Amino acid sequence: MADEGGTHGAPFGATVADASDTVSDAVLGSHWAAISGRLKTEVGEVEYRTWLRQITLGPLDEDELVLFLPTRFLRDWVRGQYGDRLQQLWQGETGFVRRIELQVQRNKAVVADDGEVMPAARIEAVVEEPVRAAATDKTSDLAAPLDPRFTFDSFVVGKPNEFAYACARRVAEKPSSPGFNPLFLYGGVGLGKTHLMHAIGSELTRGGRVSVAYMSAEKFMYRFIAAIRSQSTMEFKEQLRSVDVLMIDDLQFLIGKDNTQEEFFHTFNALVDAGRQIVVSADKSPSDLSGLEDRLRTRLGCGMVADIHATTFELRISILEAKALASGVIVPAKVLEFLAHKITSNVRELEGALNRLIAHANLFGRPITLESTQEVLHDILKAHDRRVTIEEIQRKVAEHWNIRLTDMSSARRARAVARPRQVAMYLAKQLTSRSLPEIGRKFGNRDHTTVMHACKSIAALMERDSAFAEDVELMQRMLES
């Protein structure tokens, strides 16, 4: 992490030098002594020792004072629990500190000794990017970053979604056209509403002239509540009303949230009146969104309402082909067809399944086959892992090898009987969590050593005889499914 060693952002040396022109370290130190004394009485000795004692003074940059903590965890905790209070105390104590900034500065000795300071480093490359991107966006406090994967080019068009796609494209080309404001996209979970909204946003922001705010209705609500709490609703309203395009995803989440709905309604009107574009998505059409205020439903339905239908087999195949191609991993056509047949719920889960296969193949360095697909996705493909009983195993095995069920517990030692019995014992060990003595008891009170011997013999035989191994594996799969 960039800030781990204190090398984060502007070099500290420079800021310390600037600050020392006005405030000396000794002055800061005496203020800090006074503040930490107050904190100790406020929070108590134990609390202070646990969390606050480890704070060290950092540089003062204009009116922002940096405080260091030795670990990220401590820093986050202190920031969450005491950040505001620390700032208040500093503001009360001196005129020259207005803000405080908590940063991580590890003890140098610790960094030197423990070679692996950042086990998370490997994922960091992936993590950093979108966070940074968000920070440069001026509406970043408010809106969510647009997902660069969700573009019009990566949206696979078919019968079920062509109308919604065309409407989205139109809005991206000519925002606020009569008849298309608001654009209301609706359909079931995971069919591509969010994708289309991000695509509109990406398209519009490409020139850099249009400001777009995309957020889920949920986030809208949380932001609104937070604004009320921090008495900054005016700021919130202004921010929202300054955008050219406002996109609210999953509007159904506002059902039952009357105050938030009210706020949304006013924002909506203000924007539309000012000729700005609004795009909204929900799981149902405006008229079916019961629980939403009537006047809001009416307004939502007065632009373009476009629905996305459930996928067809053809569309699912096209989507999978496009995704497989983009991934650069070879996925056999048989596997794609299998997925398109089996995962019909929605596009998100379909793509998720393909992504899992690809990630698995990359992780373990194995090609994607129909067999590996069934193995990797068995939790989605099978409704449950069956709990098999010893009795079931005995019955199935007896049927398969055409012996009597009673022979599972009989004393007969002819191979035609003994071999299937051993197979059943082997499967009982594989498929149940019974102890070996208990398995033995179910096979005519045999000793656990007999079960052990049976398991060993069958495993050895399976090694030698592949036809036999296939037979036993087939049996196992039958019992499991």
Cα distances from 59 to residues 62, 66, 94, 103, 338, in angstroms, run 10, 6, 15, 11, 61
Question: Is 260 annotated as contributing to ligand binding?
Answer: no
Binding of other proteins at residue 230 (CB under 8 A)? no
Contact string 405-444 vs other proteins (x = CB under 8 A) = ------------------------x---xxxxxx--x---
Q: Which of 344, 337, 336, 343 is nearest to 309 (CA)?
A: 344
Within a 10 A sphere around the Cβ of 107, how many other Cβ atoms?
A: 12
Contact string 98-117 vs other proteins (x = CB under 8 A) = ------------x--xx-x-
Shortest Cβ 173–other proteins spacing (Å): 26
Q: Segment contacting other proteins (CB under 8 A): 58-66, 290-298, 360-368, 399-407?
A: 360-368
Which of 26, 95, 122, 414 touches other proteins (CB under 8 A)?
122
Cα distances from 400 to residues 117, 442, 463, in angstroms, run 58, 19, 21
Binding of other proteins at residue 59 (CB under 8 A)? no
Question: Is 194 annotated as contributing to ligand binding?
Answer: yes
Which of 250, 271, 276, 286 touches other proteins (CB under 8 A)?
250
Interaction with other proteins in 255-274: which residues (CB under 8 A)? none
Interaction with other proteins in 285-344: which residues (CB under 8 A)? none
Q: Segment contacting other proteins (CB under 8 A): 86-94, 127-135, 286-294, 409-417?
A: 127-135
Which of 40, 85, 170, 219 touches other proteins (CB under 8 A)?
219
Is 90 in contact with 65 (CB distance < 8 Å)?
yes
Sequential DSSP letters for 230-268: TT-HHHHHHHHHT-SEEEEE-GGGGTT-HHHHHHHHHHH
Question: Is 41 annotated as contributing to ligand binding?
Answer: no
Is 366 in contact with 457 (CB distance < 8 Å)?
no
Is 58 in contact with 20 (CB distance < 8 Å)?
no
Helix/strand/coil for 59: strand
> In 68-190, which residue ranges form alpha helices assigned H by DSSP?
72-93, 108-113, 121-136, 162-173
> Closer to other proteins at the Cβ: 18 or 124?
124
Residue type, 248: I
Q: Would strands 64-69 and 56-61 be described as parallel, antiparallel, or unpaired? A: antiparallel
Q: Would strands 277-282 and 183-187 be described as parallel, antiparallel, or unpaired? A: parallel
Contact string 437-456 vs other proteins (x = CB under 8 A) = xx--x------x--------
Which of 85, 297, 309, 356 touches other proteins (CB under 8 A)?
356
Which of 5, 222, 274, 477 touches other proteins (CB under 8 A)?
222
Is 469 in contact with 479 (CB distance < 8 Å)?
no
Which of 12, 51, 265, 468 touches other proteins (CB under 8 A)?
51
Shortest Cβ 393–other proteins spacing (Å): 15
Question: Is 190 annotated as contributing to ligand binding?
Answer: yes
Residue type, 425: M
**Geometric angle at alpha carbon 169, from 167 and 171, rounded to 5°:** 70
Residue ranges binding other proteins (CB under 8 A): 1, 3, 43-44, 46-47, 50-51, 71-73, 76-77, 79-81, 110, 113-114, 116, 119-120, 122-123, 126-127, 129-131, 134, 144-145, 189-190, 216, 218-219, 222, 250, 253, 283, 345-346, 348-349, 351-353, 355-356, 358-360, 362-364, 379-380, 383-384, 429, 433-438, 441, 448
